[in-house]
Structure 1
Amino acid sequence: MHTPTQRVPSPCVRNCCLDSTDICLGCFRALAEITGWQEADDDVRRDILRKAEQRRRARSRDAAPPWGDSA
């Protein structure tokens, strides 16, 4: 009996809002990555998720106050 394998799930959090560079502020995927998600194989999906995580971290660093975390 063949059991279908689970595909890499979409990171969509239903908070779709694109910034000026067409990056979603909810999942941090580029518009082209969002529109190509359904056709992407799991290797491509994992690569998209890796890039999205890098964008999320970069945005978090850019948004940090210049004086750091100490209060």
Structure 2
Amino acid sequence: MSQPPAPIRTPCIKVCVVDGESGLCLGCYRRLNEVAGWARLSETERERIMAELPTRRSLIRPEKLGLL
């Protein structure tokens, strides 16, 4: 019997709201096309995007993240 595929690692936190100004999800900081195509990306592409996510937060105005 074959093994089921390994789960795909994702930054999704189930807060799916896209900021019109930055084009980023307010929950995970991915772009809509990245969210939509996540399962089709290679592991290398997903890891590259995941590495960028912490810096993307600065592209969203703090008040939109509830920080002010």
| TM-score between both structures, scaled by the size of structure 2 | 0.69
Q: Counterpart in 2 of 1:46?
A: 47
Moved over 6 A (4+): 2-5
Deviation at 1:4, TM superposition (A): 7.3
Q: Counterpart in 1 of 2:11?
A: 11
Identity of aligned residues (%): 30
Which of 1 and 2 has greater Rg?
Answer: 1
Q: Counterpart in 1 of 2:66?
A: none
Instruction: Decide whether the 8 Å contact of 1:23 with 1:29 is kept in 2.
Output: yes
Q: Give the paired residue count.
A: 61
Q: Which runs of 5+ in 1 are unaligned?
A: 64-71
Greater RCO (Cα-Cα under 8 Å, separation 6 or more): 2
Q: Which runs of 5+ in 2 are unaligned?
A: 63-68
Structure 1 or 2: larger helix share? 2
For the pair 1:28 / 2:29, whether they are aligned, the reply is: yes
Looking at structure 1, the residues matched to 39 and 8 of structure 2 have their Cα atoms a distance apart, in angstroms, of 10
Local SS of the residue matching 1:36: helix
